Amino acid sequence: MEGLFVQGLTNWLKDHGTGYLFVAGIGTFLAILAPYNTGGLGWPWIWIYWVSLMLLGGASGNAAAWALSRFAPDMPKLAAYALIAALVSLPVSIAVISIQAVLGPAPPIYTWPMIYGLVFVISAAVTAINYMLESRNEDAATPTAGRALTDKLPVRLRSADILALQSEDHYLRVHTNRGDALILMRLSDAIAAVEGLEGAQTHRSWWVARAAIHHAEKSGGRAVLTLTGEIEAPVSRSFYPDLRDRGWI
């Protein structure tokens, strides 16, 4: 039982420890700045005050993110972060009001919306930082085609999603979600440049990205893959068994 608890705690720290250290660091920064006339608390109480509020906000943010992922998984990312900032501000505002009531006169009810607004400013700032960091990490983790291929494309297509590669004699037609372009390149060299993308060669003249496939029509040992943009990519008999085993057909 103890081993399971230690393992669970270790996994939790791996998943959330960095995030809580991040918000604790922001709490320390706020303690040094002492905004909203909190400098009178003195050290170490001002540090305890801000770090505790930030940790409460972090825990509330994790709970809100979990609830949104469960009950509103299709909500746009930016809208979800804005809603999380608003939700996090509620428990933190209640904590601020409660602390003030314990340390001195309770703040009048008419000041509660103002307290919420002040808390929301900090919550929105922290949430915006998290949003930018997560977006940057996602961009860094997203596999892209090599520059040996993308540098040959028109500028407007260099950041587009590659759907398929089609060999045309000595040229290569690159199909993307923003259109296509004909470049001078061998299919084998282009396939080497997209090795980081999930895809496969379907024909001696075609390579297809897995995410681009809408549906497949098959007859015997042959098939045709219909891609985004109604592009049709043939599947030859030699490549058919591998694609079938992968579940593409």
**Same domain for 12 and 79?**
yes
**Same domain for 40 and 127?**
yes
**Same domain for 135 and 164?**
no
* Residue bearing the bigger pLDDT, 20 or 243: 243
* Alpha carbon distance 36, 166 (integer Å): 62
**Same domain for 94 and 215?**
no
Q: What is the pLDDT of residues 29-85, one digit of tens each?
A: 878 878 777 777 788 888 888 888 888 888 888 888 888 877 877 778 888 888 888
**Same domain for 158 and 212?**
yes
**Same domain for 119 and 161?**
no
Domain that holds residue 240: 147-246
* Alpha carbon distance 80, 92 (integer Å): 19
Q: What is the pLDDT of residues 93-131, one digit of tens each?
A: 998 889 888 877 888 899 899 989 988 988 888 888 877
Of 91, 107, 141, the residue that ends a domain is 141
**Same domain for 56 and 77?**
yes
Kindly report the CATH number assigned to the domain that includes residue 241.
Answer: 2.40.50.1020
Q: Where are the alpha helices (DSSP H) in the chain?
A: 2-33, 45-71, 77-103, 112-141, 147-150, 187-193, 240-246
Query: What are the b/e assignments for 10-42, b being 16+ CB within 10 Å?
Result: eeeeeeeeeeeebbbebbeebbeeeeeeeeebe
Number of domains in the chain: 2
Q: What is the pLDDT of residues 145-165, one digit of tens each?
A: 678 888 888 888 888 888 999
**Same domain for 234 and 152?**
yes
Whole-model pTM over 0.75: no
